[in-house]
Amino acid sequence: MPTLEFKGKQFVYSHHLGVPFRELKVISDKSLPAKGQKPSLDDNLIIHGDNLEALKALLPTHAGKVDCIFIDPPYNTGNEGWCYNDNVRSPLMREWLKKSANPVDKEDLERHDKWLCMMWPRLQLLKELLSERGSIWITLDDNEAQRCKMMLDEIFGEENFVASCIWHKMDSPKNTARYFSEDHDYLLVYTKNIAFWELNHLPRTDEMVSRYQNPDNDPRGPWLLSDLDARNKYSKGLYSITTPKGRVIQGPPKGKYWRISEEKFKEMDQDGRIWWGADGNADPNIKRFLSEVRDGVVPQTIWNWKDVGSTRHAKTEILKVFSDTDEREIFVTPKPKALVARVLAIATDKNSLILDSFAGSATTAHSVLEANKKDDGNRRFILIECEDYADTLTAERVRRVINGYPYTGTQRDELHRENITWSTFEKKHSKVLDHVASIENLQGHEYDKISKQIKDGVLTVTGERKVKGTAPGLGGSFTYCTLGEPIDIESLLTGKGLPTFEALARYVFYTATGQSLAKVGEPAPDGFIGETDLFRVHLFYQPNREWLRSNEAALNAERVTAIEQNSKGGKRAIVFAVAKFMSQKELTARRIEFCQLPYAVHRILGD
SS3 at position 227: coil
| Three-class DSSP category at 344 | helix
- Reported as a pLDDT band with limits 50, 70 and 90, residue 600 is very low
Using the predicted structure, report yes or no on whether residue 496 has a pLDDT greater than 70.
no
pLDDT at position 163, please? 97
pLDDT value at 602 more than 50: no
Among 274, 292, 310, identify where a domain stops: 292
Cα-flanking dihedrals φ and ψ of residue 402, to 5°?
Answer: -75, -50
CA dihedral 334, 475, 459, 141 (to 10 degrees): 20
pLDDT: is 489 or 526 the higher one?
Answer: 526
Give the E-state strand segments of 497-581 in sequence order: 528-531, 535-539, 554-555, 572-577, 579-580
Q: What pLDDT does 70 receive? A: 98
566 is a domain residue: yes
pLDDT band at 604 (very low <50, low <70, confident <90, very high): very low
Q: 524 lies in a domain? A: yes
State the average pLDDT over residues 250-276: 93
Helices and strands in the chain: count of H runs, count of E runs: 21, 26
578 and 520 part of one domain: yes
Q: Do residues 398 and 412 share a domain? A: no
**pLDDT, tens digit, 9 for 90 and up, residues 126-146:** 999 999 999 999 999 999 999
Domains in the chain: how many in total? 4
Q: Is 209 or 355 the better-scoring residue by pLDDT?
A: 355
- The verdict on 392 and 411 lying in the same domain is no
- Domain span at 257: 206-292
Tell me the average pLDDT across 568-578: 88
Q: What are phi and psi of 352, to 5 degrees?
A: -75, 155
* Contact assessment for residue 351 and residue 377, using Cβ atoms and an 8 Å cutoff: yes
pLDDT confidence bin for 47, thresholds 50/70/90? very high
Residue 480 has pLDDT above 60, yes or no: yes
| Alpha helix (H) residue ranges in 181-261 | 206-210
- Which residues neighbour 90 within 8 Å (Cβ) at sequence distance 6 or greater? 11
User: Is beta strand 161-168 parallel, antiparallel or unpaired with respect to 458-471?
Assistant: unpaired
Are residues 159 and 242 part of one domain? Answer: no
Closest residue by Cα to residue 420 from 452, 388, 398: 452
Q: Are 483 and 47 in contact (CB under 8 A)?
A: yes
Q: What average pLDDT does range 105-126 have in this prediction?
A: 91
For the chain, the 3-state helix, strand and coil shares in percent, each to the nearest 5, are 35, 25, 40
Specify if 1 maps to a domain.
Answer: no
- How far apart, in whole angstroms, are the C-alpha atoms of residue 99 and residue 541? 45
DSSP 8-state assignment for residue 297:
B
Spell out the SS3 assignment of 20-43: CCEEEEECHHHCECCCCCCCCCCC
Percentage of the chain beyond pLDDT 70 is 92
Say if residue 177 is in the same domain as residue 33.
yes
Tens of pLDDT, residue by residue over 169-192, are 998 888 888 899 999 999 999 999
Output the average pLDDT for the chain: 87
CATH number of the domain residue 303 falls in: 3.40.50.150
Encode 177-188: b = buried (16+ Cβ within 10 Å), e = exposed.
eeeeeebbbbbb
Cis peptide before 103 (omega within 30 of 0): yes
Is residue 481 domain-resident?
Answer: no
Q: Is residue 95 domain-shared with residue 18, that is, in the same domain? A: yes
541 or 512: which carries more pLDDT confidence?
541
Secondary structure of 29-80 in HEC code, one letter for each residue: HHCECCCCCCCCCCCCEEEECCHHHHHHHHHHHHCCCEEEEEECCCCCCCCC
Nearest Cα residue to 215 out of 156, 161, 267, 279: 279
Do 514 and 528 lie in one domain? The reply is yes
Cα 330 to chain centroid, rounded: 24
Q: What is the mean pLDDT of residues 460-464?
A: 83
User: For the ranges 186-195, 218-227, 461-470, which has the lowest average pLDDT?
Assistant: 461-470
At residue 394, does pLDDT exceed 70? yes
Write down the pLDDT at residue 177: 84
Residue at which a domain ends, from 292, 325, 350:
292
Do 263 and 361 lie in a common domain? no
Give the lowest-confidence range in 459-463, 522-526, 597-601: 597-601
What pLDDT, in 10s, does the model give residues 57-98? 999 889 899 999 999 999 998 887 788 877 777 778 777 777
Element (H, E) at 94: helix 91-99
What percent of the chain is modeled with pLDDT above 90?
Answer: 52
Residues 236, 181 within the same domain: no
Beta strands in 392-516 (DSSP E): 405-419, 449-455, 458-471, 479-486
Residue at 538: amino acid letter? H
Query: What mean pLDDT is predicted for residues 160-176?
Result: 92
pLDDT interval class at 30 (50, 70, 90): very high
For the entire predicted model, the pTM comes to 0.77
Nearest one of 586, 549, 570, 500 to 25, comparing CA atoms? 500
Residue at 477 is within a domain = no
Q: Which of 1-10, 64-73, 204-213, 500-509 shows the lowest per-residue confidence on average (mean pLDDT)?
A: 204-213
Q: Are residues 350 and 393 in the same domain?
A: yes
Question: Which carries the bigger pLDDT value, residue 308 or residue 101?
Answer: 308
CA nearest to 529, candidates 516, 548, 547, 546: 516
CA atoms within 13 A on the CB side of 455: 6
Predicted confidence at residue 497, as pLDDT, reads 67
Rg of the Cα atoms in the chain: 30
The predicted model gives 268-281 an average pLDDT of 93
Instruction: Please state whether 469 falls in left (phi above 0), alpha (psi between -120 and 50) or beta.
Output: left
Task: Indicate whether 64 and 185 sit together in one domain.
Answer: yes
Alpha helices per DSSP H over 350-414: 363-375, 389, 396-403
For residues 283 and 376, membership in a common domain is answered with: no
Among 238, 269, 292, the domain boundary falls at 292
CA angle at 103 for the pair 98 and 108, rounded to the nearest 5°: 80
Q: Reply yes or no on whether the pLDDT at 380 is more than 80.
A: yes
Tell whether the model's pLDDT for residue 599 goes beyond 60: no
**467 neighbors 580 (Cβ within 8 angstroms):** no
* pLDDT over 90 at 486, yes or no: no
Region 286-312: what's the mean pLDDT?
A: 90
Rounded average pLDDT over 255-280: 93
Q: Cis omega (within 30 of 0) on the bond before 543?
A: no
| Confidence tier at 428 by pLDDT (50, 70, 90) | low
